[in-house]
Amino acid sequence: SQNCTEARERRITQVDLAKSRIPAFRTELQNISSRLQHFEVIYKQMLYHPLNLWSLRMDLKQLGSEVLDAQKSSLPNKNLLQKFSDELLDARESLMNMGKYDKFNLLSIKQHLRDLKDYIQSISVYGKSKIGNCSGILRSVSQPITAQVNPFGVANHYGAWGMDSMPGSPELYWVMVLTSSKIYGNTIRTYSSYKPFLLNKPFTDFRVT
């Protein structure tokens, strides 16, 4: 009789302990679910690496062991723990899918990241040179399609005009005419958009250096 009483008290203690751990399970699972959603966003954007998931995988493993231990106790209602167990299983499957994706596509992801890095660097470099500083080379120069009377007078017969873009001026128009030597030009006149370009005002002149 005494042995039965002691066994019963131990069982009650185990049940109370398991019941007291359920709120902690719920909080930890919510935390892991939130972190997993963050990784899923990164995963969809192809910006993650397997090492990013290592700590999350270990947390899931530890929580799964604790839930399994709690399930061995004689709880009056095991539905909540079963729900936790099902959600843990879904989280593990999501992690496995991410791992498989990385296994077959890691190289393409790295290449994609390199391309993004190169693109960002090209954007950061583009547009930093001041107008009038000659650098680089011209590419894809076509024959003139439309003639435009230059704003510097009829004595200047040759030159060029066009539209370019720079930070803060997406529709920057410019005109550059050759000097009387017909060899080079020394001034670039810019307009903020097409209408000022047609009216020849307002404008800004830059000396070519």
Average pLDDT over residues 143-165: 71
Indicate whether 63 and 18 sit together in one domain.
Answer: yes
pLDDT value for 125: 46
> In this predicted model, which residue has the larger pLDDT, 207 or 125?
207
Q: Containing domain of residue 162, as a range?
A: 131-209
Indicate whether 91 and 144 sit together in one domain.
Answer: no
Give the CATH number for residue 104: 1.20.58
Count of structural domains, the chain: 2
Indicate whether 111 and 187 sit together in one domain.
Answer: no
Indicate whether 113 and 138 sit together in one domain.
Answer: no
Indicate whether 76 and 6 sit together in one domain.
Answer: yes
Indicate whether 88 and 10 sit together in one domain.
Answer: yes
Indicate whether 119 and 184 sit together in one domain.
Answer: no
pLDDT value for 189: 87
Q: Which of 125, 140, 175 is the last residue of a domain?
A: 125
Indicate whether 91 and 168 sit together in one domain.
Answer: no
**pLDDT, tens digit, 9 for 90 and up, residues 95-118:** 677 666 655 555 565 666 566 666
Indicate whether 108 and 197 sit together in one domain.
Answer: no
Structure token pair of residue 70 = 């709690």
Q: Which of 79, 106, 125 is the last residue of a domain?
A: 125
pLDDT averaged over every residue in the chain: 69
Indicate whether 51 and 11 sit together in one domain.
Answer: yes
